[in-house]
Chains A and B, each alone.
Chain A
């Protein structure tokens, strides 16, 4: 099953842009990854799914147009433009793998985004 790697932290100034990265382990370059936002003290919120070709399906409910994704090689990126204070959150990536008895859902370690 894939391993998802995320930098533990990122920061950006109010109104700036930031790109968060989720890296799949070798051999899993065709996998789709889901991005989740988790505000302090809250449950995760689905942002969107991204494959090698970009967004898959639709954004989650209420996700602003400022959020976009891109896929390249083993990397799945989440870009946030015009960062707002409300964007300060932990961002998790996750991916499902396999079928039947070898099915698994794996998550990265999460990136804590600080808005300066």
Chain B
């Protein structure tokens, strides 16, 4: 059974750095063809992709947020960490992590998601 769970603060102040952890089970980020990404969703709004890390340590970032994001993985602990600097109230959102997998037919979508971590940015 594949599960992912986000953890981190629910409230951060403007200008602070947000650190979120995705802890997963049922798969390994040391396996070829596996990736874990972060996606956020402001209240009542659309999904927005943030970053992805892959088994080979390749990383991908949203162009508009790249300067503020860092994604790292700890394969031994089955964790992926996202940091976002200089938080602003517009960054208030539910932050999700999700898995990406390469099937025999090629790369698939984000096939397993966590339940999300609502982060409010306010002083």
Contacts and interface: CB of A to CB of B under 8 A. Distances in A.
Interface of A: 34, 36, 42-46, 49, 56-58, 60-61, 92, 94, 96, 102-110
Interface size of B as a range: 20 to 34
A44 B47 contact: yes
Contacts, number: 66
Contacts of A104: 49, 62-63
Contacts of A49: 108-109
B115 interface: yes
Contacts of A105: 37, 39, 49, 52, 110
Interface in B20-69: 37, 39, 46-49, 52, 60, 62-63
A114 to B, nearest CB: 16
Given A104-B49, A107-B47, A57 B105 contact: yes
Contacts of B47: 36, 44, 92, 94, 107, 110
A60 B105 CA distance: 15
